[in-house]
Structure 1
């Protein structure tokens, strides 16, 4: 009787120490925590995923994004770079590493990543969009062309390349993507290219779409009774 009881106690102890959650469950939990802004918690879950699967590209990219959100830029870059060594043509990695470069004011490097991502999607004139297929449990690995071109436009504008930035912002406006921000920055392009009236038109549209920052541009540069 004592032997049986001892075996039950030992077995119970072993079960308590076991982790029955799958790698995908940890990944999905991390995604939920990211949506809630719990980046530290998400990183802990992704650490477990990467301990089990060190070459899980999507886990590396997600952890890099979480680290960037926490201002851990060097650690974030390490994860992005590792993901890129595993798959140098990963559009998600290129886009998000480009965002990290831009956030740390390395705009030329950001442009290199954005341009490669756009090329991998087929180019500016004829491109493809991949869609996640949840029924097969596939993880999402593509980025919308509009998102890439909006960020590329911002980096181009920061570098003073207003003509090319203009085309990116116009593309986003035409496709109704981030058009409040796109109108704001296309206005900046118009202004720097010498088209003040058109700049003011775009800033007014940006303001109407809820971009508060547009008001400052309007007051400073445009005729207004406000």
Structure 2
């Protein structure tokens, strides 16, 4: 009887210690906490999801994002780079790393990762549609429930705009011009792109082009551009 009781107790402990919750379930639970604004709890659940499945891209991506939102930019970069260990051409992970480096005021590193992102198949060719929006040309389709390749795609114009900002910060003005002009062609962040172009042409002492771009930016509602016009373009 005593041996039977010990067996039952051991079995009960083993059963209690077993975690039958799947990586997908932990991921979904984390998303629920994100919606409640409790990112720390969401991260705890994603830790468990990743323990179950170390190559679960959505869990790594979201954990990196939550860490970034909580101010842990380096921690976010580490999670995005974990994705690159087994998915080296993941466009969104590369883009997010670039964004974090931009926030860390490391524009050269940001440019490096934005450029890598642009050279992936998940960087969608972008163009303006007839309704004034931006479309991306998708070349592959993947309809897995959670870990879906399409979820890691980004419009090229978005990446180009971000890279252009960092080219601007590093005073690589001619390269920045190319990126901002591509962003404008795709109808992405046109007001900001024209504003940056205005700033670039001011630096290049090309006042007519500067004022032309500040005017285009102001017409699209950029208040800072209106101030630039008052200072530089009303003589």
Normalising to structure 2: TM-score of the pair? 0.74
Change (3 A) 1:110 1:20: same
In 1: Cα distance, 2:31 partner to 2:174 partner = 38
Higher relative contact order (CA 8 A, sep 6+): 2
In 1: Cα distance, 2:75 partner to 2:234 partner = 47
Q: Which residues in structure 2 correspond to 1:1-226 (within 5 Å)?
A: 22-28=22-28, 30-31=30-31, 39-121=39-121, 129=138, 137-139=146-148, 140-223=151-234
In 2: Cα distance, 1:69 partner to 1:89 partner = 24
Q: CA deviation at 1:33?
A: 5.7
Q: Is the 8 A contact 1:150 1:168 kept in 2?
A: yes
Change (3 A) 1:119 1:91: same
Give deviations 1:15-70, integer Å, cap 9, x for gaps: 9x998865335434545665776543542342232132122123212211221122
In 2: Cα distance, 1:218 partner to 1:46 partner = 49
Change (3 A) 1:83 1:183: same
Q: Is the 8 A contact 2:22 2:52 kept in 1?
A: no
In 1: Cα distance, 2:26 partner to 2:225 partner = 42
Alpha-carbon RMSD across the aligned residues, in angstroms, is 3.3
Structure 2: gaps of 5 or more residues: 1-11, 127-135
Change (3 A) 1:135 1:59: closer
**The 10-residue stretch of structure 1 (202-211 or 55-64) with the greater mean CA deviation from structure 2:** 202-211
Give deviations 1:132-182, integer Å, cap 9, x for gaps: 756855531111111110111011111001111011111111111111221
In 2: Cα distance, 1:100 partner to 1:70 partner = 12
Normalising to structure 1: TM-score of the pair? 0.76
**The 10-residue stretch of structure 1 (187-196 or 142-151) with the greater mean CA deviation from structure 2:** 187-196
